[in-house]
Amino acid sequence: MALDLTDFIADLPKVELHVHHVGSASPQTVARLAERHAGKTSVPADPALLAEYFTFTDFPHFIEVYLSVVDLIRDAEDVATLTYDIGAGLAAQAVRYAEVTLSPYSSIERGIPAEAYCEAVEDARRRAARDHGIELRWCFDIPGPPWERAADTTLEIALKHRPEGLISFGLGGPEAGVSRARFAGHFAAARAAGLHSVPHAGESTGPQSIWEAVRDLGAERIGHGIAAAQDPELMAYLAEHDIALEVCPTSNVCTRSVPSLAEHPLPALVAAGVPVTINSDDPPMFSTTLDREYQVAADLLGLDEHGVAELSRQAVRHSFLDAPGKAALLAEIDTYATHRQP
């Protein structure tokens, strides 16, 4: 490779639009929490054993392992520590702004009061901005079954305890057999309250879930959405309406949603004009980072420094950062890319 993209990517100002809260816990944090809750969890307390523990056989197995880590977050102090560490870790990768997906329902069900949870993430958000210069925002996500209770509780927390950093409403968990349209009422209420719609769809199922997310949930971006590559009409629709996909290549391989990076549909999506952003999803669980995902995308798409910088700009444009913030960050990317030109 003629250009040293590793160094270029490392210092390139970036945004992260699809990264999960608990899924971003470092191996050291996970091991420390597992030791604290020894005898009450299947998660190993030895960081060296976590790589094997985080080897997934399929998407349902990934969900099972993910929830076992969720269960390690037992109090508001755990929430604040985890959140601050996420901000610090992202800032170390030159991430200036991140929209982090939180699943407050999971913590509330484990006994953390909603008010304490929201105060914890806000405290961490302010400290991360002060100490590391990173702006964090929140997407409150419906995490999975029991679907109705999880959806009702997530919406209630979003509307009644709305933290200052909350900007969007999401839907995660298993996709198979779970119609996106099932949550139309919840998303309508969230959107009426001024929250953006960013459901997961088309990760482990087909294009139909993406159509439902767009038509029934008013999706402004799609979490993953890689199944769109199977439907030319859908790709044309996403391109025409400028609905971006939050693509997480390594995640898709680790959860067996695609067989290998070589077979990832990212090139087909880009060739069809679908706007994409590059993201890390649950980076420690997938032994990746946002920097590495940019390198993976560059390899898949055959990009040089100019192309990689444009990936970063596209993520900024499809973020929910305010207009002055977008303008400032785009200018910073331009300055950086120009300065780095050979």
Q: Please write the tens of the pLDDT for every residue from 146-197.
A: 999 999 999 999 999 999 999 999 999 989 999 999 999 999 999 999 999 9
- Exactly one of 16, 122, 175, 203 is catalytic; name it: 203
The one-letter amino acid code at 198 reads V
Q: What is the DSSP string of 84-108?
A: HHHHHHHHTTTEEEEEEEE-HHHHH
Question: Which pLDDT score, from 0 to 100, does residue 48 have?
Answer: 83
Q: How far apart are the first and last CA of the chain?
A: 14
Quick one: average pLDDT of 330-334?
Answer: 98
Active site residue 203: yes
Q: What is the dihedral of CA 303, 308, 310, 314, to 10 degrees?
A: 110
**In the chain, % of residues over pLDDT 70:** 98
CA distance 174 to 111: 24
- Of 125, 271, 99, residue with least CA distance to 195: 99
pLDDT over 50 (residue 112) = yes
Where does 5-340 sit in CATH, by number? 3.20.20.140
Q: What is the pLDDT, as a whole number, of residue 4? A: 65
E strand residue ranges, the chain: 14-20, 95-102, 135-142, 166-171, 196-197, 200-201, 221-224, 244-247, 276-278
Give the model confidence (pLDDT) of 11-47 as tens digits: 999 999 999 998 888 887 788 888 888 878 888 888 8
CA atoms within 13 A on the CB side of 51: 3
pLDDT exceeds cutoff 70 at 57: yes
pLDDT band for 265, please (50, 70, 90 cuts). very high
What is the helix (H) or strand (E) element at residue 121, kind and residue range?
A: helix 114-132
Q: Which helix (H) or strand (E) holds 292?
A: helix 290-301
Are 223 and 175 in contact by the 8 Å Cβ rule? The answer is no
SS3 238: helix
Question: Token pair for residue 322?
Answer: 């305010």
pLDDT at 320 over 60: yes
- DSSP H stretches of helix in 161-275: 184-192, 207-217, 232-240, 249-254, 266-271
- pTM equals 0.93
Among 28-37, 125-134, 257-266, where is mean pLDDT lowest?
28-37
pLDDT value at residue 1 = 41
Question: What gap in Å lies between CA 266 and CA 277, rounded to an integer?
Answer: 10
- CA dihedral sign, ordered 40, 43, 44, 46: negative
**Residues 331-337: contacts with CB under 8 Å, at least 24 apart:** 332/13, 332/96, 333/12, 333/13, 333/309, 336/11, 336/12, 336/13, 336/309, 337/12, 337/305, 337/306, 337/309
